[in-house]
Each structure stands twice: as C-alpha cells, then as structure tokens.
Structure 1
Amino acid sequence: MIEVSFDQLHAWLSAFLWPFIRITGLMLSAPLWGHSSVPTQAKIGLAAAITVVIAPTLPPLPNIPVASWAGLGLVVEQLVIGTAIGLTIRVMLSVVMATGDFIGLQMGLAFATFFDPSSGANMVVISRFLYMITLLMFLAVNGHLVVLEVLISSFDTLPIGIQRFNPEAFILLARYGGTIFATGLLLALPLVASLLIINLSLGILNRAAPQLTVFNIGFPTSLTVGLALLMVLMTDLGRFLERHFYHGLEFLKHLVETLAPLAG
C-alpha cells in the first residue's frame, strides 16, 4: 500500500500552486487569453496544463507553508509578476484601438460605436476592426508563444520567493503606457493629416459658397476619402504591426529583467 505523508502533499501542492498563480495572473490580464469569450474553465485548464508541464523544470521552491501569511505574500508576488506581463501585452495590442479612435473621429464615424463585451465599454467600429486584425497578426507571428516563453523564463529571472521588486520596473511600465497614444497617433497620422486638410478645404469652401453646406458635401467626402486611405493603410499595416510587436516583446523581456531586485 502506498502511503503519502503530509510533507509530500504539501510539497506537491507548493510545486503546483505558486507557478499556477503566476500563470493565472497572465491569463486574467492579457487580452488574448483573458478575453471574455474564452470560458473560465478553459483559462483555468490551460493554466493548470502549463503548470504541470513546467513544474519539474523550476528552480527550488521556498519551504513556506501555503496556509500562512508568508504564503499569502507569495500569492501576491506571483500575481504582480503575471499581471505586469499581461498588462504589457494589453498596452501593446491597445495601440490600434487608439488608432481607430483617431481615424473614426476624423472620418465622422465617432458615433458609429457598439458595446464591446471584452472591455465593457463602447468602441468605435474601426477600432474593433483594427483590433481583430492585430490579434490575428499577433497569432500569425507566434507572439503568443513568445509571451509564454518569456513567462516561463521569468521563473529563472524572478524565482518564486524573491520577496521584493525593483521599483523602477513599475515606473517603466507606467511610461510604456504612453505607447498607446504615441504609436497609435503615428499609425493614424497619414489619414488624420489628409482628412484634416480636406476638412480645412471644405471649411474654406463653405465660407466662400454658403449654399454648399458641410453636411451635404463634407461628410460624404470625408467618409469616401477616409475609406480609400484606409485601404491604402492596410497595405502597410502588416509591416508596421510586425515591427511594433518586435519592440513590444523586447520591452517585455526588459521589464522582466528590471523587476529583479538590485544586488545588495
């Protein structure tokens, strides 16, 4: 008869629980795995499967009881690491949503919104369209596999029980949030600049010929030119996103390294 002691059960539970919480933090905060359309059972099952695979390869775990204040500290520590990785991916993929907002505002489609269950807010149609393309591109370049690779390698850079973080990493993550505006505006700049020139021209035309109302000429012109320019933008969108993903994933690796506390 096989007998299992309490110490063995506790060791097995610790080997599974700590990495499982870090992976779960990623699943909850990342936009791809944390999407509302993905069932909760599937998220938990995927996190558990990854944990079972990587658990034997992890560095030695701290001998801390699960049901203790120190164990609660480890839970918070793993959630912080997983959530930081997930938030970085969310910021990286949210760039195109800002791009869609800028383009939709200039095209006159800011009112064409619908409720997005994944974000819990109204989203411009163009933003949703570009966001879905970005998610598919992210899967096509195996970005999700790179994220999982960074997550698994973080157990070596940030072993379980590290007890403290480098505060500079959180400042770095907050500053990276500016990428949403800067890169999003950079992608939308050709359309925004062109439509702005058209709107200025229509404004001058309206002053010169008041009988030509803006609503009769301006909106169809902005919409038609905007759709044409959007078609031109799509021809270079893949190259832009590929370069954006590269810089975003490089930042993710740098963030994980920065989270490690300074020596001494």
Structure 2
Amino acid sequence: MFSVTYAQLNGWLTAFLWPFVRILALIATAPVLSHMGIPVRIKVALAAFITLIVAPTLPAMPQATVFSATGVWIIVNQFLIGAAIGMTMQIAFAAVDAAGEFIGQQMGLGFAMLYDPRAGGNAVVVSSYLNALATLAFLVLDGHLQLISALITTFQSVPISTNVVAAASHAQGWKTLVGYGASVFSTGLLLSLPIVAALLITNIALGILNRAAPQIGIFQIGFPVTMLVGMLLLQLMIPNLMPFFQRTFDSGIAQVGRVAGAMY
C-alpha cells in the first residue's frame, strides 16, 4: 500500500511553495507580466508552470515546516525578493513614463489623460503612447524571457534560506534598488530632452513673434503650433527609440543581478 509520511509531504510542499512565491511575486510586479489585462488565473498558472520546471534543479530546502514561524518568514522573504526584482525592471518603464510626462507638459497636453490599465489609473496620453511602444519593444527583444531567466539565476545567488529583512548585511540590496530609482529622472529626461529643447525654442520664437507683431494673436496659434511641432518630433524620434529601449532594458536586467547579488 502506498503511504506518505508527514515529513515527505512537507518536503514536497516546501520544494514547490517557496520558489513559487518568489516567482509569483515577480509576475505580480514585473512590467508586461503584471498587466491588469492578464487574468489572475493565467499569472498563477504561469508561475506554477515555471516553478515545476525550476524546483527540481534547486538545492536542498531549509529544514522547516510550511506553517511554522520559520516557514512563514521564509515565504515573506521570497515575496520580497521577487517583488524587488520585478520593481527593479519596472523602474525602466517608469523612466519612459517620466519622459512622456515631460513631453506632454511641454506640448500642452498635460491635461490630456487616458485610463492606463497597466497602472490602474489615468496617465498622460503621450506617456501612454511611449509606454505602448516600450512594451512592444520589450516583447520583441525577449525582455520578459530575460527577466525570468534572471530570476531563476537568483535562486543560486540568493538561496531560499536568505533572510533579506532582519540581517543588516543584506540592506545593501535595498540601497541598490533605491539608488537605481534615481535613474527614472535622468533616463526620462535624456529621452525627452530633444523634444523638450525643441519645444522650448518654439515657445521662445512664439514669444518674440508676439512682441514683434501683437496683432497676430499668439494665444490662438501658440497651442496648435507647439502641439504640431511636438507630434512631428515624436514621429521623427520613433526610428531611434528601439536602440534606446534596448539599452534601457539591458541596464535594467543588469541591475537585477546587482540588486540580487547585494542581497546575499
């Protein structure tokens, strides 16, 4: 008769549950994979499928039961590790959103808002447009596969038994993640700088024209002119976006490795 002991059942459960929590946390926070348009069942099924492939290759799990205090604490740590990796890659997309905000404000479209299902709220229309292009580029460049591969690698660099909360020696990983967040402004400004500079010159030219010929009615033509110039520059910028997105995503994947390495 086939029989299973409690120790065997606990071993099978921990070998699956702890990696599953880390992978599911990544899918819940990573760009594209966490999109609200993807049903929750699909996300859970994808995490379970990846776990079934990865779990047999992992080293021995800590000797703790799932529902003990130690087991619950391990689950919390796995969630934080997966969420930190997902948020690291999310910063690259936040830089694209910031660039859209800067461009929209200069074009006079800062008030033009659209519902963004990715963020679950309203976003500037230019930001939504650039984010859609970034999402397509992310999929074309296999960024989602690279991100999952980077996560699987973290099981070797950051073992299941790692305590990333209580140990002060692991705080460097969180500092690395916070420091990378500063790139949202620098990368966003770098992406939007050509259009922002051109629109600034356009506004200066309109101001000079208003002083030279007040009868033209600069307030009537200023908004259409800046919007048309901004749309034209966006159109001209599109062919150069793919190399920029590729460098941004490669930097995000590399940063994932740095954050994970600093946590151990």
Coarse TM-score class (shorter-chain normalised) = over 0.9
Partner of 2:176: 172
Q: Distance in 2 between matches of 1:95 and 1:216?
A: 33
Partner of 1:202: 206
Partner of 1:215: 219
Q: Distance in 1 between matches of 2:91 and 2:218?
A: 37
Three-state SS of the structure 2 residue aligned to 1:166 is: helix
What is the identity, as a one-letter code, of the residue corresponding to 2:215? Q
Partner of 1:137: 137
Q: Distance in 1 between matches of 2:148 and 2:62?
A: 23
Task: After TM superposition, list the pairs within 5 Å mapping 1:154-165 onto structure 2.
Answer: 154-163=154-163, 164=167
TM-score (ref. length: structure 1): 0.95
Give the deviation of 1:139 after TM superposition. 1.1
Give the deviation of 1:64 after TM superposition. 0.4
Distance 1:185 1:238, change over 3 A: same
What is the identity, as a one-letter code, of the residue corresponding to 1:133? L
Three-state SS of the structure 2 residue aligned to 1:233 is: helix
Q: Distance in 2 between matches of 1:30 and 1:211?
A: 54
What is the identity, as a one-letter code, of the residue corresponding to 2:37? S
Q: Distance in 1 between matches of 2:171 and 2:216?
A: 59
1:92 is the counterpart of 2:92: yes
Partner of 1:224: 228
Three-state SS of the structure 2 residue aligned to 1:115 is: strand
What is the identity, as a one-letter code, of the residue corresponding to 2:33? W
1:31 is the counterpart of 2:31: yes
Give the deviation of 1:215 after TM superposition. 2.7
Deviations 1:166-205 (A, max 9, x none): 1111111111111111101101100000100110111122
Give the deviation of 1:208 after TM superposition. 2.5
* Cα pair 2:98 2:188 within 8 Å, conserved: yes
What is the identity, as a one-letter code, of the residue corresponding to 2:94? S
Segments of 5+ residues of structure 2 without an aligned counterpart are none
Deviations 1:213-233 (A, max 9, x none): 233221111111111111111
Partner of 2:195: 191
Three-state SS of the structure 2 residue aligned to 1:46 is: helix
Task: After TM superposition, list the pairs within 5 Å mapping 1:146-157 onto structure 2.
Answer: 146-157=146-157
Partner of 1:17: 17
Three-state SS of the structure 1 residue aligned to 2:216 is: coil
* Cα pair 2:16 2:52 within 8 Å, conserved: yes
What is the identity, as a one-letter code, of the residue corresponding to 1:53? I
Give the deviation of 1:234 after TM superposition. 0.6
Give the deviation of 1:254 after TM superposition. 1.3
User: Identity over the aligned pairs, expressed in percent?
Assistant: 44
